[in-house]
Structure 1
């Protein structure tokens, strides 16, 4: 009953966070214990990832930790998923680094505030379900592209290459790396390889051990044991502050809003896609169902709060969510505990971070990039229909070679065009054809009207050839599916390909649930064509929504009330009384 009452409130009011529902039903001590243990595990896993993502985003490592604390807590506290864990992720690394390089951290704050506001509006407007309609080739394309960019961006840290300036463009960057192999630092490379090997070994043979933590720890111990001169968090950033994130009033340059808006829209869209994808993964593993509106509201709130407390953009983290579920989490409490675990680290163990080699964090990100690449799924999608492959390769190429923002916009545009094309393919324009004029054929119209099997059949356009009772003077066409802009062009061509010179044209829209303004315009143009060629047009089976739309545009008056029929058989009987015109 409680779940039903909350569902009712959701239908008419503000989305209800999942945690509130769980607490309303009650959370036993046993489940609470599971959540605490799962949260501790995820917190340990999140620590090196948060720092690595921050450094890769061209900001100090503590900003990643602050994000995991503030945004991670709020995403679990206010979110629409029972299991999703949030924080900084690889999806944002490229876009954040670009904003910071161009506009500084203050520019990133304003960009994220705008993105957070967009996410709140998307949640309030219940647009979560629409975001989930973005096709798989689009998300795979830019996710794989981001993975490639992250991978190559970390090679300088992994190999300790001291380069004065690394181009942001992909091809010049690759060319510079290839020409700078003589600048590889042996000690740094050794630590990177040791850390990478430790991560892979832990994942393969000791899955119970958090692989990123193990890799970073092995790298730090190895560097300290052999007194290797490698760069660490301490040598570059001076360590991690031993204080909790404090509220920092932002310095906003509103004159730059116009320039930051594309990046803000990209962050909002990526956060929405990534967080809802994370929720879908969690639902698939647990059988639960998330609330997309509540999740988007939580993402908006979390991103706004994150940058107000010194953080960076955040979203749902699939790897941490899966870790939480596998560790026994049963509610959003686990995600909240994960954030509190990082609070304890900042307060009591921050000095330990100073010894972490940057090459070890680079190794963590190389593995993250490999996981993000989804190379198996990418290769499998290459076997998909040509249109899907084109969308995949276009999105991937634009992400890598041009810009992530451009890739997201083009990907969404291509997704929309692909959706419209496939929707138009679902709507068929068919003609009713009878083979002759015997008794069985004369009974066929009744079979058609009753939608039962009979000698009459439908054949697909674009080259229709129809007759009724062996006579081309009465022709019957059916539109099966929505009559919208996607099929308007095909519909306009019907009169150009019909056989003979009909005196009556019967259009059956019994299976047409709706019509849009473009469809209305096409229908009106068709009516005028018929009149110009002295052909009577009868409309059959128009549904209430269809009739209402026509009435708003006055199309029903253009057709004429006496030309509207409930069945094809009635229309045929009326058509037989229409005289021939010369």
Structure 2
């Protein structure tokens, strides 16, 4: 055991911290400068009304949403783990923060901004700590059916929410509201808004077919075309972005005097940030055939939320809509995300009047194309041929993403996938019980054993991880253990054992001891040995009965039988001498 431990690689702090070095992002920013800058400008225009709306929805004001988008864009662009991810306020996180703010208002009814910002700051610290603990790799265990269901669900949500503004009406607050509102909007549509939105949409749709050059992203051209039509024909009856707050942010230094009250909310915000961000990164990976660094992404989100807590921004995460729009506009490095943040910063510092002339219908046309693009068309043709459990998982995530929220959908989807894989692993687990007479292999040449004893020696071979999912299989194996004197449990092909699996073995040992049988373990791996030792299962068997090979166990049984026979002979001789 000591030899194995000595061969373990030594911890290297420099290499460990190198994963969080922003140089990974900075060194590639020169490779796609024109497209990244244009993509960043386009995404900033798309993100601005969303940021304003999320700021208002949080209860902290429109500027809070803008400063969150600025921090997310610039800081995650530098420190994040996805080349194409764009961060900012997201629906699930803002809803969560709004509930916390509503529950902690001051006596005057105003939001306790210092408390809220301190909690956002603390959530950033939690993200950084979790990133340093390297928890990000677990996102790669998310099944494809879950990711696909999420992508299709988000796509449907975006499409439904953008139909009313395309027709000249306000964007609904929810999908249910959109579904209720769409029939009325279709019957009373505003022609000018429809013209602008369709002109924008078809420009984006047709531009890549007109030219293969990427010097001008289709969404940016669509924005120019839609806005130009609205002003060229003086469409006054449609809604424009309008005025927005400008100026430097008010700084809030964290106050942890009420740490006990804010720590729960901070962990909740951090958990949702990680889940929301990494799932969006998986979507981006699926679209770009790249692979993000989950731990660095969590670290970047932590830095961004520290910044939000100081400048008064709502909490951030990697946003699916902005990320997909960035990819579709040709963004390939963190420079696009930084440009998006800098454009929003410029707007906040005085350029906002220039953005006020953009029609909301024009943005709706852009986002409609984003919604259509985000749907996973790889899986749609095979929906009717998907494995049964994958199909259930996909539809559950899709429906719940649309009707409830992301967290519930992901929780249900991962639970379904988890139950399925546990069930399949349990069914695939291999074990068999045979006596020595039934074995194909020959006994060692130096072993002579009577036939009646061979029937009393059973071999239980286990193969695969010994965990809670195989309990039924092991129970059926133990039921086959009857009328025996020695039991050899072969463990050479058991790579790990959890507490459930260990106690399953313990039950088998207890059953054997009640029948007066002796139990042997053979081929225990170090990790399994440690688990059985810690849970005091080895001591019930005896260390002397833990052997390397099956043949060693047979020789040990022969030795025990010889000792037993010798002991009986001595007893009989004593009786004769007494007579």
Q: TM-score, normalised by structure 1?
A: 0.76
Q: 1:264 to 1:77 in 2, by over 3 A?
A: closer
Matches of 1:176 and 1:337, distance apart in 2? 36
Paired residue secondary structure (2:483) = coil
Superposed CA offset, 1:9-46 (max 9, x none): 3445x4554433577xxx6xxx7754543442232222
Would you say the 8 A contact 1:123–1:296 is kept in 2? Answer: yes
Among 270, 294, 297, the alignment partner of 2:296 is 294
Matches within 5 A, 1:96-495: 96=94, 100=98, 113=121, 115-161=123-169, 168=174, 170=176, 173-206=178-211, 208=214, 209-234=216-241, 238-241=242-245, 243=247, 247=251, 265-275=271-281, 278=284, 284-285=289-290, 291-306=293-308, 308-309=310-311, 311-312=313-314, 313-315=316-318, 318-319=323-324, 322=327, 332=334, 335-337=337-339, 339-344=341-346, 349-380=351-382, 383-424=385-426, 427-431=429-433, 441=440, 443=442, 472-495=455-478
Q: 1:395 to 1:48 in 2, by over 3 A?
A: same
In the TM superposition, what is the alpha-carbon distance from 1:334 to its structure 2 partner?
Answer: 6.0
Matches of 2:268 and 2:458, distance apart in 1? 52
Would you say the 8 A contact 2:37–2:335 is kept in 1? Answer: no
Q: Which runs of 5 or more residues in structure 2 are unaligned?
A: 1-10, 103-110, 446-450, 565-579
Query: Which position in structure 2 is the counterpart of 1:461?
Result: none
Between 1:307-316 and 1:186-195, the stretch displaced more is: 307-316
Matched, 1:564 2:570: no
Query: Which position in structure 2 is the counterpart of 1:69?
Result: 70
Matches of 1:352 and 1:129, distance apart in 2? 43
In the TM superposition, what is the alpha-carbon distance from 1:521 to its structure 2 partner?
Answer: 1.2
In the TM superposition, what is the alpha-carbon distance from 1:77 to its structure 2 partner?
Answer: 2.0
Paired residue secondary structure (1:515) = coil
Please provide the CA RMSD for this pair.
4.1
Matched, 1:43 2:48: no
Would you say the 8 A contact 2:274–2:317 is kept in 1? Answer: no
Would you say the 8 A contact 1:242–1:348 is kept in 2? Answer: yes
In the TM superposition, what is the alpha-carbon distance from 1:129 to its structure 2 partner?
Answer: 0.6
Paired residue secondary structure (2:524) = coil
In the TM superposition, what is the alpha-carbon distance from 1:185 to its structure 2 partner?
Answer: 2.0
Q: 1:415 to 1:553 in 2, by over 3 A?
A: same
In the TM superposition, what is the alpha-carbon distance from 1:470 to its structure 2 partner?
Answer: 12
Between 1:423-432 and 1:115-124, the stretch displaced more is: 423-432
Q: TM-score, normalised by structure 2?
A: 0.77
In the TM superposition, what is the alpha-carbon distance from 1:362 to its structure 2 partner?
Answer: 1.4
Superposed CA offset, 1:191-215 (max 9, x none): 2222212221224334522222222
Between 1:543-552 and 1:111-120, the stretch displaced more is: 111-120
In the TM superposition, what is the alpha-carbon distance from 1:519 to its structure 2 partner?
Answer: 1.8
Would you say the 8 A contact 2:247–2:350 is kept in 1? Answer: no
Q: How many residue pairs get matched?
A: 526
Paired residue secondary structure (1:221) = helix
Matches of 2:239 and 2:185, distance apart in 1? 22
Matches of 2:79 and 2:173, distance apart in 1? 40
In the TM superposition, what is the alpha-carbon distance from 1:56 to its structure 2 partner?
Answer: 6.0
In the TM superposition, what is the alpha-carbon distance from 1:528 to its structure 2 partner?
Answer: 1.0
Would you say the 8 A contact 2:463–2:491 is kept in 1? Answer: yes
Instruction: Point out the structure with max Rg over C-alpha.
Output: 2
Query: Which position in structure 1 is the counterpart of 2:80?
Result: 79
In the TM superposition, what is the alpha-carbon distance from 1:507 to its structure 2 partner?
Answer: 1.1
Paired residue secondary structure (2:368) = helix
Would you say the 8 A contact 2:163–2:364 is kept in 1? Answer: yes
Superposed CA offset, 1:388-412 (max 9, x none): 2222222222222233332233334
Paired residue secondary structure (2:236) = coil
